[in-house]
Structure 1
Amino acid sequence: MPMLDMPLAQLKEYRGCTPKPSDYDEYWERALEEMRQTDPQVELIPSEFTTPFADCFDLYFTGVRGARVHAKYVRPKHTSAPHPAIIQFHGYTGNAGDWENKLQYAALGFSVAALDARGQGGLSEDTGGVKGTTMNGHFIRGLNDHPDQLLFRHIFLDTAQLARIVMSFDEVDADRVGAMGGSQGGALAIACAALEPRIKKVAPVYPFLSDYKRVWDMDLAKDAYAELRTFFRHFDPQHENEQEIFTRLGYIDIQNLAPRIRAEVLIGVGLMDSICPPSTQFAAINKMTAPVQLEIYPDFGHEGLPGMNDKIYQFLKSL
């Protein structure tokens, strides 16, 4: 068969090459404490979009560093007992999407919350305030500043905070909450399950933001990872600080968060994915200690994986 990356047997053993910072656990405990100390000031505003079996809201909350973060929230009507919920995450530069693709879960009697990642294509704020470049890329935002200023630190915390908010709603059973998403959304689903251990099931598809050094070594710092090459060209053209840069990216590398996941995992991978190379995805998968159901698509890249949405639906409906 054609091969973009390592043979499958090698992929199943690969555990990443991006350095992990020595204070990684302390970093995230400090970050989570900042999140816990942030008053979310939750606001639910009824949407003009209506459907006979669910109520739809624009949900706003205050995240770390004072940003007002937006999500779409769908709550089924005519339910008495607390019910499950799904947290949805979108791809890089995108937004929470239309209401329509949340209704399949509302029809099951689930609530659904879909995050707008701050500073991307939706309504969430990016409060900024970092040293260094703010041009063309989010995972390099704050890379020239203190690690606590990395933008994806804040976005990862938003995922956990949204999950905590949804779990606090009277209508939601906090023990029956799942997370899902593709590409960046897959990375955020993994981050959410890692930082909020009550997440019960997580369904990422070809997750982004994993094993940055491997992307560089494969000469695939383009498309979704193009900002990495841009950063080196502008700020370290002779790669004198390469080790330090990749180590700092290790704070926001989902492979390092993966061991924290307690949720049951269903993950889809295309072996011809040149956007988020398979080895970068397996770097995270192989560090997961929770049960993992792996769905492999040998001939597919960063695109729709036939039947994968149905597999995710069947997986999450049993929450």
Structure 2
Amino acid sequence: MPLVDMPLEELQAYEGRSPKPADFDAYWERALDEMRAVDPQLTIEPSSFQVPYAECYDLYFTGVRGARVYAKYVKPKLPAGAGKHPALLQFHGYSGHSGDWTSKLAYAALGFTVLAMDCRGQGGLSEDTGGVKGNTLHGHIIRGADDHEDQLLFRHIFLDAAQLAGIAMNLPEVDPARVAATGASQGGGLTLACAALEPRVARLAPIYPFLSDYRRVYEMDLAKNAYEEIRDYFRRFDPTHRREDAFFERLGYIDVQYLAPRIRGEVLMAVGLMDTITPPSTQFAAYNKIVADKRMVVYPDFGHEGLPGFDDRSMAFFQAMR
């Protein structure tokens, strides 16, 4: 089989290259305290898009640092007395948005509430309040890397994902014990971060997750496409790599491999072994640290693309919560 990374047996034992900050756990406890102190100022308004078997809403909440965050909210119309039902959180790829309403409706037809978040400052309606020192030319991974570690933008986006999970669990129609999450690429990374920071998430299906093992990406000469901003940072701000170690340690705060041990929900993850966008080893660095029940579905001949059958498998996995 062709290889772009390690052989599978090495991937299954790989533990990552990027450094973990010594105060990582304290960092995230402090971040969660900040999130919990925020008044979400939740607003829910009917959307202009509607279907007969579900209600579609525009949902906004206030996240950390005052940003207003948007999510599509789809609530199934169920018979009176049906009781509480499951919910699914959906997270999108890097630079994108929450997608069309139609992509939520299959789950609504199955009796799931669906919430799909727009990441702040990307292609949707959520707000990026900014206000950091250093580079903001492009790239959310490095946003805030030259400022205090609490200013990292992905810190805030990870907290938005966890906050949305808490909002879902408090919706009157939702069973808080049956909330799941899914997404591909950045959405896969946010799925892991969400379930780590809100460990009540019961099931998660991340697909080739982004935002893991940054140093490995750089050393593989794959700091391009989604990770291009890492190379760009060195070229513009540290051309002799004088601060390389400190830079990768700073990114360690927003490396999902180090959040992964916090996950308590059951995991179904997919990886393509020909992936040159989010290299397989970076994905296994996170997967191998998950201590909860987990399964990895391996696609040997596939890269960062649609993985045949995995959407159906994920849907069956989530329906089993019912």
Which TM-score band applies after superposition, normalised by the shorter structure? Answer: over 0.9
Count of aligned pairs: 319
Q: Distance in 2 between matches of 1:122 and 1:318?
A: 31
Which residue in the other structure is 2:67 paired with?
67
Structure 1 segments unaligned to the other structure (5+ residues):
none
Paired residue secondary structure (1:176): strand
- CA RMSD for the aligned pairs? 0.5
Q: Which residue of 1 aligns with 2:84?
A: 82
Aligned to 2:257: 255
Per the alignment, residue 35 of structure 2 pairs with: 35
Pairs within 5 Å for 1:201-212: 201-212=203-214
Residue 136 (structure 1) shift = 1.4
- Paired with 2:195 and 2:137, the residues of 1 have a C-alpha distance of 29
Aligned equivalent of 1:53 = 53
* Aligned equivalent of 2:8: 8
User: What whole-Å deviation, never above 9, does each CA across 1:61-96 have from its counterpart, x for those lacking one?
Assistant: 000000000000000012430110000000000000
CA–CA distance in structure 2, aligned partners of residues 143 and 155 of structure 1: 15
Alignment partner, residue 119 of structure 1: 121
**In structure 1, distance between residues paired with 2:288 and 2:314:** 20
Q: Hey, what does 1:284 align to over in structure 2? A: 286
TM-score by length of 2: 0.98
Corresponding residue SS for 2:58: strand
Q: 3-state SS of the aligned residue for 2:90?
A: strand
SS in 2 for 1:221: coil
- TM-score normalised over the length of structure 1: 0.99
Q: Paired residue for 2:199?
A: 197
Q: Kindly report which structure 2 residues correspond to 1:212-231, keeping only aligned pairs within 5 A, or say none.
A: 212-231=214-233
Specify the SS of the correspondent of 2:267: strand
Output the amino acid matched with 1:57. Y
Amino acid at match of 1:116: D
Aligned positions of 1:100-139 closer than 5 A: 100-139=102-141
How far apart are the structure 2 equivalents of 1:5 and 1:78?
48
Structure 1 residue 46 displacement after superposition: 0.3
Amino acid at match of 2:313: K
Q: Cα offset for 1:318? A: 1.4
User: Partner of 1:174: helix, strand, or coil?
Assistant: strand
Quick check: 1:310 aligned with 2:312? yes
The structural deviation recorded for 1:135 is: 1.2
How far apart, CA to CA, are the structure 1 residues paired with 2:50 and 2:69? 22
CA distance in 1, matches of 2:242, 2:134: 17
Cα distance in structure 2, aligned partners of 1:284 and 1:75: 32
Structure 2 spans left out of the alignment, 5+ residues: none
Partner SS, residue 51 of structure 1: coil
For 2:97, what is the secondary structure of its paired residue?
coil
- Partner residue in 1 for 2:100: 98
Give how far 1:51 is off: 0.6
Question: Is 1:23 aligned with 2:23?
Answer: yes
Distance 1:295 1:311 in 2: 10
Partner of 1:151: 153
Alignment of 1:153-168 (within 5 A): 153-168=155-170
The list of structure 1 runs, each at least 4 consecutive aligned residues, that deviate by more than 4 angstroms after superposition, is: none
